[in-house]
Structure 1
Amino acid sequence: MTTENSQKPHDRLAAALATDMEAVSALIRERMASEHAPRIPEVTAHLVGAGGKRLRPMLTLGAATMCGYSGPYHIHLAATVEFIHTATLLHDDVVDESAQRRGRPTANLLWDNQSSVLVGDYLFARSFQLMTEPGSMPVMRILSNAAATIAEGEVLQLTAAQNLSTSEDTYLQVVRGKTAALFSAATEVGGVIADAPEQIVKALYEYGDALGVSFQIVDDLLDYEGQAESTGKNIGDDFRERKLTLPLIKAVALADDAERAFWVRTIEKGKQEDGDLDHALALLNKHGALDATRKDALEWAEKAKNALDVLPPHEIKDMLSDLADYVVARIS
Structure 2
Amino acid sequence: MLTWQHLHSKEDLLGSPFIAHTFAFQGVATQVVTTLVEYETRTPKKRAILYLHGYTDYFFQADLAQHFTEQEWQFYALDLQGYGRSIRPNSRPNWCENMAQYHDDLRIALCELKQRGIEEVVLLAHSTGGLIASHFLAHLARNSTADSALDMTKVTGLILNSPFLALPFSPEVTKRVSWPIWLTVSLLPFHSIREKDISLYARTLHKHFCGEWEYRLDWKPAKGFPLSFNWLKQILLAQKQVKQLGLALPTLMCCSSATTRHERDPERIKQGDGVLDVESMTLAAQQTFKDLQIERIEGGFHDLYLSPLPSRQHYLAAIDQWLASRL
Shorter-chain TM band: 0.3 to 0.5
- Structure 1 or 2: larger helix share? 1
Tell me the TM-score normalized by structure 1.
Answer: 0.32
Higher relative strand content: 2
Q: Which has the higher contact order (CA 8 A, sep 6+)?
A: 1
